[in-house]
């Protein structure tokens, strides 16, 4: 029996190696260019301006909160202090876990419920949200126009503005910086490019499971490891209300009940806790939920048909986690500003 088990392990290992050698791995490579709209092309001036605005706490009523408070580069572009729900103005708690902005330029929808499509549409929402930055744009725009340093930077980044700051230019500048927040080269990327020693044998087995038995690619496919769509992974039982309704609040269709956007798995080890409600602390638990049928033995209302019990054992769960860890690269090179326009 032991000899047979050893032989089976050897055969599986050989099959994994053979598939890796013959499979077209190009779909796992990042596109050569970052998507950008024609009316807001990326330039160095716009990136620098957007970065300053992104980290500037003066964009909040309290003067203590910036975009980076909930989406910080030192915490995988989520909350600098990991929390299950975003914490904003005067310590108010949001209804959802802060989503990562990493690789959001490649996403077709923004926010957990996908209520807007572009980063420009997304950029101003948190500023005005009462539980986040709580700053009215009617107050903020005059404030920014009274800062000569920002007037000069807007004129340089958007010459047609003449240095006059508007909601539109503010959104464009922040969106441009966010568009440059992309994942760095991870061990998995080196593996895809031909370095077969870049990831462990355990991770390779996890990759095979990811594409095969576990069927993770149903939702997490391509270089960004997301289908860009929405799913109910069975986290909550019973009737849902408020923000837990997810995309149903946006579209009002029964099929969207409780569904949330599929997040990227890039740099996944940095962005805990997991899921839209921040209720999952570890990758092992997240993998168990998604790959083995959800959080409950019975089906919850409108749970995705893709969330099925795949019969994965602990060894296979650990192999999947090992693979996902190989998707983490070093932090992108970024000088966080400490001085802001006056």
Kindly provide the residue ranges of all beta strands, DSSP E only, lying in the chain, ordered along the sequence.
Answer: 230-231, 260-261
Contact between 70 and 82 (Cβ < 8 Å): no
Contact between 216 and 310 (Cβ < 8 Å): no
Catalytic residue among 23, 48, 132, 316: 132
Instruction: Kindly state the helix (H) or strand (E) to which residue 197 belongs, with its residue range.
Output: none
Cα-to-chain-centroid distance, residue 12: 33
Can you tell me the mean pLDDT for 248-262? Answer: 96
Q: Count of CB atoms within 10 A of residue 249's CB?
A: 14
The CATH code of the domain at 44-179 is 1.10.760.10
Enumerate long-range contacts of 13-16, CB under 8 Å, 24 or more apart. Answer: 13/201, 13/205, 15/208, 16/204, 16/205, 16/208
- The residue with greater pLDDT, 239 or 20, is 239
Which two three-digit tokens encode residue 7?
């032989």
pLDDT exceeds 60 at position 20: no
132 is catalytic: yes
Contact between 286 and 265 (Cβ < 8 Å): no
Q: Lowest mean pLDDT of 81-90, 243-252, 303-312, 317-326, name the range.
A: 81-90
User: What local confidence, expressed as pLDDT, does residue 65 receive?
Assistant: 95
pLDDT exceeds 60 at position 321: yes
Residue 28: name the closest of 228, 226, 291 by CA. Answer: 226
Model confidence band, residue 83 (pLDDT cutoffs 50, 70, 90): confident
pLDDT exceeds 50 at position 244: yes
pLDDT exceeds 70 at position 2: no
User: What local confidence, expressed as pLDDT, does residue 41 receive?
Assistant: 98
Query: Distance (Å, rounded) from C-alpha 176 to C-alpha 104?
Result: 11
User: What local confidence, expressed as pLDDT, does residue 86 receive?
Assistant: 82
Ordered by start, the domain boundaries in the chain are: 44-179, 185-325
Same fold, 44-179 and 185-325: yes
Contact between 210 and 219 (Cβ < 8 Å): no
pLDDT exceeds 50 at position 197: yes
> Residues with Cβ < 8 Å from 333, sequence gap 6 or more?
none
Model confidence band, residue 67 (pLDDT cutoffs 50, 70, 90): very high
Report if pTM > 0.75: yes
User: What local confidence, expressed as pLDDT, does residue 228 receive?
Assistant: 95
User: What local confidence, expressed as pLDDT, does residue 308 receive?
Assistant: 94
- The residue with greater pLDDT, 85 or 49, is 49
What is the dihedral sign for C-alpha 139, 143, 145, 149? negative
pLDDT, tens digit (0-9, with 9 covering 90-100), for 258-313: 999 999 999 999 999 999 999 999 999 999 999 999 999 888 999 999 999 999 99
User: What local confidence, expressed as pLDDT, does residue 192 receive?
Assistant: 96
The CATH code of the domain at 185-325 is 1.10.760.10
Residue 236: name the closest of 308, 309, 302 by CA. Answer: 302
């Amino acid at each position: 029996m032991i000899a047979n088990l050893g032989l089976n392990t050897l055969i599986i290992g050989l099959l994994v190696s053979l598939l890796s050698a013959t499979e077209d791995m190009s779909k796992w490579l990042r596109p050569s260019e970052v998507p950008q709209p024609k009316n807001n092309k990326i330039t160095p001036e716009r990136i620098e301006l957007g970065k300053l605005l992104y980290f500037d706490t003066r964009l909040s009523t309290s003067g203590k909160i910036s975009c980076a408070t909930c989406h910080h580069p030192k915490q995988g572009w989520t909350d600098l202090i990991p929390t299950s729900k975003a914490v904003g103005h005067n310590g108010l708690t949001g209804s959802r876990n802060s989503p990562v902005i990493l690789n959001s330029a490649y996403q077709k929808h923004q926010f957990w419920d996908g209520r807007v499509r572009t980063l420009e549409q997304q950029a101003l929402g948190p500023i005005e949200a009462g539980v986040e930055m709580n700053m009215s744009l009617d107050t903020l725009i005059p404030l920014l126009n009274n800062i000569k340093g920002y007037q000069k930077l807007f004129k340089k980044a958007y010459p047609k503005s003449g240095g006059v700051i508007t909601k539109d230019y503010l959104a464009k500048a922040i969106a441009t910086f966010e568009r440059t927040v992309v994942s760095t080269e991870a061990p998995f990327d080196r593996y895809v490019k031909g370095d077969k020693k870049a990831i462990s044998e355990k991770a390779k087995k996890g990759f095979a499971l990811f594409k095969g038995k576990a069927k993770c690619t149903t939702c997490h496919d391509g270089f960004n490891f997301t289908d860009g769509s929405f799913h109910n992974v069975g986290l909550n039982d019973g009737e849902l209300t408020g923000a837990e309704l997810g995309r149903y609040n946006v579209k009002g269709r029964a099929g969207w009940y409780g569904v949330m956007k599929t997040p990227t798995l890039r740099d996944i080890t940095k962005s805990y806790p997991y899921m839209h409600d921040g209720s999952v602390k570890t990758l092992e638990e997240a993998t168990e939920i998604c790959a083995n049928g959800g959080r409950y033995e019975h089906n919850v209302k409108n749970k995705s048909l893709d969330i099925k019990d795949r019969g994965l054992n602990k060894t296979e769960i650990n192999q999947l986690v090992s693979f996902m860890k190989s998707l983490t690269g070093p932090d992108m090179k970024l000088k966080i500003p400490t001085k802001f326009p006056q």
